[in-house]
């Protein structure tokens, strides 16, 4: 007759969680390191309340881009900041980028100012700024009006 040897320790019904804690801590470190690298933004220096207008170089061409609330764009190209006249216009963002890129390529020292309708969304203005940057614009300013 065969006799089975008796085990000193029986099977355990507990789960070993130490490896799971190690994996969790490694993932936490990875997320903490990579999270700051995922942040993107548009660099803008906000105007101060009691500030004066900056002096502009009169030899530069000035393009005043207006962003309408409906998403349309129009601009004026001249020697001074002019918001009353229109040199050209564009219905969409791609058309505006192409036309302004041609102007900037022709006149390399073009200063671009953006003015937006009060009801234009923040996304429209930022999209216009990104399109201008892709079109080769390096000098960009924002036009505001003094409160009444």
Task: Report if residue 5 sits inside a domain.
Answer: no
CATH no. for residue 74?
3.30.420.270
Res 116: pLDDT: 82
CA 36 remoteness from chain centre: 16
Res 147: pLDDT: 62
Looking at the chain, which runs of residues are DSSP E strands?
A: 62-67, 73-78, 88-90, 111-116, 140-142
C-alpha 80/C-alpha 37 separation (Å) is: 40
Can you give the pLDDT of all 148 residues of the chain as single tens digits?
667 767 677 777 777 888 889 999 999 999 888 887 776 554 544 444 555 555 655 677 888 888 888 888 888 887 777 666 677 777 778 888 888 888 888 877 788 888 888 778 888 888 888 888 888 887 788 877 766 5
Place of tokens 């129009």: 74
42 close to 129: Cβ distance less than 8 angstroms: yes
pTM of the model as a whole: 0.57
Task: Report if residue 137 sits inside a domain.
Answer: yes
Task: Report if residue 99 sits inside a domain.
Answer: yes
For residue 119, give its domain range.
62-142
C-alpha 24/C-alpha 26 separation (Å) is: 5
How many structural domains are present in the chain?
1
Task: Report if residue 123 sits inside a domain.
Answer: yes
């Amino acid at each position: 007759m065969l006799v089975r040897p008796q085990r000193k320790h029986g099977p355990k019904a507990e789960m070993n969680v130490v490896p799971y804690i190690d994996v969790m801590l490694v993932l936490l470190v990875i997320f903490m390191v990579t999270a700051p690298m995922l942040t993107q933004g548009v660099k803008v220096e906000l105007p101060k309340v009691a500030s004066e207008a900056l002096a502009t170089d009169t030899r530069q061409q000035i393009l005043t881009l207006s962003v309408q609330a409906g998403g349309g764009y129009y601009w004026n190209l001249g020697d001074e900041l002019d918001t009353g006249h229109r040199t050209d216009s564009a219905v969409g963002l791609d058309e505006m980028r192409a036309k302004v890129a041609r102007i900037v390529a022709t006149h390399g020292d073009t200063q671009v100012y953006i003015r937006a309708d009060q009801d234009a969304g923040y996304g429209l203005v930022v999209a216009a700024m990104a399109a201008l940057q892709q079109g080769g614009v390096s000098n960009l300013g924002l036009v505001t009006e003094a409160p009444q």
